[in-house]
């Protein structure tokens, strides 16, 4: 799939985590320009606004109302015991609910409610991965409402700009809200709660706001194509530029969280920036705790390939590193002082939090 315009480095805007959990300001400078902003806590409105699901009989085949009728019962309002809230969706018949890591961050007790009239079900945190901003809660499957079915997962690899995008969630605590739009762009890069880049992100103009975090982004067939995570805005409200973690990432990470496996990722330990004069990833900073610090790599080196994979921009470098495992030895082709060089580096394990210098 051809990549979109690499102008994904947005400036003069705030990238905002949409969930309710308080997130520390990430100061690491990555390939995406701008800063993350905290969002206000989102709580249920009282009294709750009632929504009336559209019946299958009234909904036109393939319409948004039909998709809503079929999928909304599987979308959850997630309450964090620390006072915040967000959204989520039922992943399987075992009661696993997918949401954002920043929705559950800082909490020890959680509850989930499916539908406007559904009961609040206690939920257990099964696992979370701040590097992809994904988390999994579990509720008692026997207590799920009869009409609540798991949502079907699509593939984000086949998406194209202009494809239909439908968001369902709980903006500002108003559960059961649906908005529509399109996929505005593919292959964006955003920063995760722990400062590392999330690759392959979907951009959409479907209105998403604080409280939508963790809710599903659906395609024209009602299948999950992403998990709504952030917006680009200077006012903490929808500006028509929203971002969703792609469902292919969900399908990779969530099973590991459910199985309780450790999510160990390869780590080089550099921050890179685009080369204004051509292709490559220019080393802008080298972490003191990463393997790059003990290698021949230097700030200013322009990395052009990892093994046999060509590197055209910083996102390519991140993706290439993540295709390896900790302990793998890789060859970096680079340009330094107009001279071609090749160096070897043994990859380490990504730390829990990004560090500078």
Residue 261, pLDDT score: 66
Element (H, E) at 209: none
Mean pLDDT, consecutive 10-residue stretches, the chain (357 aa), reads 40 51 29 30 38 44 89 96 92 97 94 88 95 96 94 95 97 93 95 90 95 96 97 77 96 94 86 91 92 94 95 91 93 95 94 65
Active-site hit among 156, 213, 229, 238: 213
Assess whether 102 carries a catalytic annotation: yes
Q: Delineate the domains of the chain, giving CATH numbers in brackets.
A: 1-51+63-262 (2.40.10.120), 266-349 (2.30.42.10)
For residue 183, give the nearest of 158, 209, 152 by alpha carbon. 158
The vertex-108 CA angle with 40 and 96, nearest 5°, equals 95
Question: Helix, strand or coil for residue 205?
Answer: coil
- β-strand pairing of 164-169 with 134-138: unpaired
Active-site hit among 37, 85, 102, 187: 102
Residue 118, pLDDT score: 83
Active-site hit among 37, 133, 275, 316: 133
Residue 23, pLDDT score: 30
| Residue pair 303/271 in contact by the 8 Å Cβ criterion | no
Residue 7, pLDDT score: 40
Assess whether 96 carries a catalytic annotation: no
Question: Helix, strand or coil for residue 69?
Answer: helix
Assess whether 133 carries a catalytic annotation: yes
Residue 31, pLDDT score: 31
Residue 5, pLDDT score: 40
Q: Is the dihedral of CA 266, 24, 166, 125 positive or negative?
A: positive
Phi, psi for residue 137 in degrees, rounded to 5: -105, 160
């Amino acid at each position: 799939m051809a990549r979109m315009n690499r102008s994904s480095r947005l400036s003069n805007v705030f990238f905002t985590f949409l969930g309710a959990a308080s997130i520390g300001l990430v100061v690491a400078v990555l390939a995406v320009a701008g800063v993350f902003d905290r969002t206000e806590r989102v709580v249920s409105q009282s009294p709750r606004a009632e929504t009336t699901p559209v019946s299958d009989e009234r909904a036109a085949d393939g319409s948004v109302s039909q998709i809503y009728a079929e999928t909304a019962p599987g979308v959850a309002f997630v309450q964090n015991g620390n006072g915040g809230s967000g959204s989520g969706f039922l992943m399987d018949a075992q009661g696993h609910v997918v949401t954002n890591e920043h929705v559950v961050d800082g909490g020890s007790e959680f509850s989930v409610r499916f539908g406007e009239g559904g009961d609040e079900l206690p939920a257990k945190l099964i696992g979370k991965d701040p590097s992809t901003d994904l988390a999994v809660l579990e509720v008692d499957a026997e207590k799920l409402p009869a009409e609540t079915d798991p949502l079907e997962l699509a593939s984000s690899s086949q998406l194209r700009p202009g494809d239909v995008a439908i968001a369902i969630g709980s903006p500002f605590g108003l559960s059961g809200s649906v908005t529509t739009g399109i996929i505005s762009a593919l292959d964006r890069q955003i920063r995760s709660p722990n400062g590392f880049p999330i690759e392959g992100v979907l951009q959409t103009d479907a209105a998403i706001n604080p409280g939508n975090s963790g809710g599903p982004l659906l395609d024209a067939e009602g299948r999950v194509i992403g998990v709504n995570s952030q917006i680009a805005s200077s006012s903490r409200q929808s500006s028509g530029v929203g971002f969703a973690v792609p469902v292919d990432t969900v399908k990779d990470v969530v099973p590991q969280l459910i199985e309780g496996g450790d999510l160990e990722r390869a780590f080089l330990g550099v921050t890179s920036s685009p080369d204004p004069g051509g292709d490559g990833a220019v080393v802008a900073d080298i972490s003191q705790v990463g393997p790059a610090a003990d290698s021949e790599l230097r700030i200013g080196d322009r990395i052009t390939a990892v093994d046999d994979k060509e590197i055209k921009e910083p996102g390519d470098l991140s993706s290439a590193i993540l295709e390896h495992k900790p302990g793998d030895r890789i060859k970096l082709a680079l340009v330094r002082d107009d001279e071609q060089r090749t160096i070897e580096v043994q990859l380490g394990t990504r730390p829990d939090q990004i560090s500078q210098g």
